[in-house]
Amino acid sequence: MARVSIGLTVNGQAVSAEVEPRMTLADFLRDELGLTGTKLGCEHGVCGACTVLIDGAAVRSCLMLAVQAEGADVLTIEGLSHNGLHPVQEAYWEHHGLQCGFCTPGMVLTAYAFLQERPDPSDEEIREALAGNLCRCTGYQNIVVAVRAAAEKLAGAR
């Protein structure tokens, strides 16, 4: 199969590559760029483990082809923190919003994007925003507490 040239920005760095047209963005990030924080769970867009941000919006990278990201700005969990953990990551750690960690990158990026749009959410809004991300370990209560705490941290930083 003929390969296609793509150019995009990943975690602030310009990236150019030749990819097969059917390669998913998740596989490109993991296999070609070595960014394994993007997890593959269901590979049907249901679990949210593969969530990354495309131009600021939370997207299931298992459902998007790498060629569709041409010209896009992609943020993975690896690009979220600079000089230590991001406040959302800190809040997940401080409030035990993770256990095995498999769903955590997608959860954190979903929460990050949500808090950009809704900086002072209610618990119900947090639950609704995270409803597309599945976790088998935590029971979600600590995740909601962590997102609320992250919102407070981010508000204090403004």
The 10s digit of each residue's pLDDT in 106-147 is 999 999 999 999 999 999 999 999 999 999 887 789 999 999
pLDDT value at residue 57: 97
pTM across the whole model: 0.95
Residue 83: pLDDT band (50, 70, 90) is confident
Helix, strand, coil abundance in the chain, percent, nearest 5: 40, 15, 45
Per-residue pLDDT at 136: 87
pLDDT number for residue 157: 77
Rounded-to-integer distance, Cα 64 and Cα 118, Å: 25
- Cβ atoms of 25 and 66 within 8 Å: the answer is yes
For residue 158, is pLDDT > 80?
Answer: no
Please give the structure tokens belonging to residue 122: 């209610």
Please give the domain boundaries of the chain with CATH numbers for all domains. 4-76 (3.10.20.30), 87-157 (1.10.150.120)
Residue 67, judged by CB atoms within 10 A of its CB (0-12, 13-18, 19+), counts as middle
